[in-house]
Structure 1
Amino acid sequence: MLSDPLVMRDLVRNPTEDTANASIERHIGYRARHGIGFWTVEEAGQVAGLCGLKPGAPNTPIEGELEIGWLLAQPFWGRGLATEAARVSLGWAWEHTVASRVVAITAASHLKSQDVMLRLGMSRLPDGDFDHPLYGAEDPMRATVTFAVSRPETAH
């Protein structure tokens, strides 16, 4: 999944097994260093994808914030799994962290991801658009948008 060009089209240019392995190692490090990370999303006993929390990316406006993300393999697209898994991840964040909000970023052109953000009750931050430093000036993925959801009043 992490090396599938269609799955990764809005995240990584020319994904390979090496980029997939680097991503896995990065996420293992998040859990080891920060106590957060992505979990496996399953459906009917099959691995469908990943979802969870991580530190906001360095050199971006969300650095130091709690970021939520998700990624599903192609056969599991369009079933509501990303939204369901992300809701569970948000619940975990409210129960186990002191974060006042959770943020998410995506390419401005990645409307399906933005749809999930809206279903989660996230709002696009008016001052959250930025050029992601991992992408070149001509890369359409460089234009990035930020969404956020505040901690519910009932969460401790």
Structure 2
Amino acid sequence: MIRTERLILRPPVAGDRPALYAMWGDPLGMADLGGAKDKAACAATLARHAGYAPLGFGVVERCADGRVVGHVGLKPGAPDTPIVGLLEIGWIVARPFWGSGYAREAAQGWLDWAWANRAEPAVYAITARRNVASRRLMERLGMRHVPAMDFLHPAHSDDPDLADSVTYRIDRP
């Protein structure tokens, strides 16, 4: 568990499912992340992310009221991407909480944890080129775009705009 000024970053529990499923089922919130997920796809996402527990990928809970506002953390870079096996950070915050700074606060919490607890020289992030909000967050975190690692994401081969992906990197301080 990580505590930031306003957030608790922790593994998900069964009671988090309604909030997470609502977030992942939101077509607008998921537009740049592959589209809304049905209940089965949400359950599969939770199961996949449970395997990342040693790296730390989990729920973002607001300290003030215990509400789940997102899912942020570290994981191994996915196969068929230029960051396969490298340390990746990813995030999603539910749409009602956009603009609150929660994604940045949670991502920074995980980056601080990574520098203190992991040996990797860098952390990477990928997103669709069109995902301007995530790209801005990457830059605010101090990440830099690595154009040589941009790619067409095979998971989105049916949507060329979504498949057009960018890679960012932040080096150990």
Question: What's the TM-score, normalizing by structure 2?
Answer: 0.82
One of 59, 74, 84 as aligned partner of 1:63: 84
- Aligned partner of 2:29 in structure 1 is 7
- Aligned partner of 1:40 in structure 2 is 59
One of 90, 96, 103 as aligned partner of 1:75: 96
- Aligned partner of 2:43 in structure 1 is 21
Contact 2:74 2:89 in 1 (8 A): yes
- Aligned partner of 2:12 in structure 1 is none
The percent identity for this pair of structures is: 47
Q: Is 1:104 the counterpart of 2:131 in the alignment?
A: no
CA distance in 1, matches of 2:57, 2:26: 18
SS in 2 for 1:79: coil
Worse-matched range after superposition: 13-22 or 104-113? 13-22
Contact 2:144 2:168 in 1 (8 A): yes
Contact 2:86 2:124 in 1 (8 A): yes
- Alignment gaps of 5+ in structure 1: none
CA deviation map 1:50-85 (0-9, x unaligned): 111000011110001000011111111001110111
Structural RMSD (CA): 1.2
Q: Is 1:93 the counterpart of 2:95 in the alignment?
A: no
Q: Is 1:151 the counterpart of 2:168 in the alignment?
A: no
- Aligned partner of 1:134 in structure 2 is 155
Across the two proteins, how many residue pairs are aligned to each other?
A: 149
CA distance in 2, matches of 1:15, 1:87: 27
Displacement after TM superposition at 1:137 (Å): 5.0
CA distance in 2, matches of 1:52, 1:76: 17
Deviating beyond 6 angstroms after TM superposition, the runs of 4 or more aligned structure 1 residues are none
Question: What's the TM-score, normalizing by structure 1?
Answer: 0.91
Contact 2:89 2:123 in 1 (8 A): yes
Q: Is 1:115 the counterpart of 2:136 in the alignment?
A: yes
SS in 2 for 1:30: coil
Contact 1:3 1:19 in 2 (8 A): no
- Alignment gaps of 5+ in structure 2: 1-22
SS in 2 for 1:86: helix
